[in-house]
Amino acid sequence: MAETTLTHTSPLDRPQGLRGIAADWASDQRAFKNVSWGKAMMWIFLLSDTFIFGCFLLSYMTARMSTRVPWPNPSEVFALRIGGQEIPLILIAIMTFVLISSSGTMAMAVNFGYRRDRRKTAILMLLTAALGATFVGMQAFEWTKLITEGVRPWGNPWGAAQFGSCFFMITGFHGTHVTIGVIFLIIVARKVWRGDFDTGRPGFFTSRRGRYENVEIMGLYWHFVDLVWVFIFAFFYLW
């Protein structure tokens, strides 16, 4: 597998800044000199996925801007009655807090992974997965609440039918991403816990040996899902 570091030249020998980028792209073997195959693949996948979410969000904005029926007010729709008081967006605020916290625990897991601290890495990854699962759980709660209030993909009591369609489609697609992330977090955490990355145990399907960098690649995906949520939060709930 592709190592992350240059084996033969020290970073000091290489030109810096833009000249360095030009030199790397003009060179043989690798265009990104300190990037492994797995990491490069994840970045390019995330770029492609950005276009998917971008198309979803643009379609939602088109629907919202072109509709002639009033758009339901998100502050009222997504309010919870707590202690006899309507608090707007409270559940979404908690969900956002939980997901962003999970990015923090993920970053810590990556750090401990590179220090070869198996125990802390695995625990932090499982904590990240638990926070992610909490997020999905709260999303399920939110869906249930809206459905009981009469929101359907094809209509709702308050206004434009596209409100429900866009809401279920976009949060559903994002929630699927989070769920897939949780599953892979658990799988990678198990590998870390078992010491697969220390012993060089081949993967069950791929028969390739994994490295602690896999924790970081997992982290890239997780931070991306988190970042996408920030955009969904801004464009769907705050607009």
Binding site for other proteins (CB under 8 A): 1-3, 6-8, 25-33, 35-38, 40-41, 44-45, 47-49, 51-52, 54-56, 59, 62-63, 66-69, 153-154, 160-162, 164-165, 169, 173, 205-209
Residue 145, classified by CB atoms within 10 Å of its CB into exposed (0-12), middle (13-18) or buried (19+), is: middle
Instruction: Read off φ and ψ for residue 9, nearest 5 degrees.
Output: -115, 140
Nearer to other proteins, 68 or 81 (CB): 68
Cβ at position 14, least distance to other proteins in Å: 12
Q: Between helices 162-194 and 213-232, what is the axis angle to 10°? A: 160
Alpha carbon separation from 105 to 67, 94, 102, 131, 190 (Å, rounded): 41, 17, 5, 9, 17
Find how far residue 207's CA is from the centre of its chain.
27
Instruction: Read off φ and ψ for residue 29, nearest 5 degrees.
Output: 65, -65
Beta strands at 85-88 and 79-82: parallel, antiparallel or unpaired: antiparallel
Smallest CA-to-CA distance from 136 within 173, 109, 107, 188 is with 173
Nearer to other proteins, 137 or 200 (CB): 200
Cβ at position 90, least distance to other proteins in Å: 28
Cβ at position 184, least distance to other proteins in Å: 14
Nearer to other proteins, 51 or 81 (CB): 51
Nearer to other proteins, 93 or 227 (CB): 227
Cβ at position 236, least distance to other proteins in Å: 15
Nearer to other proteins, 4 or 101 (CB): 4
Nearer to other proteins, 59 or 134 (CB): 59
Sign of CA dihedral 72, 78, 80, 84: negative
Cβ at position 55, least distance to other proteins in Å: 4
Find how far residue 59's CA is from the centre of its chain.
21
Cβ at position 206, least distance to other proteins in Å: 4
Nearer to other proteins, 38 or 132 (CB): 38
Cβ at position 92, least distance to other proteins in Å: 22
Alpha carbon separation from 158 to 64, 70, 91, 119, 152 (Å, rounded): 14, 8, 20, 51, 11
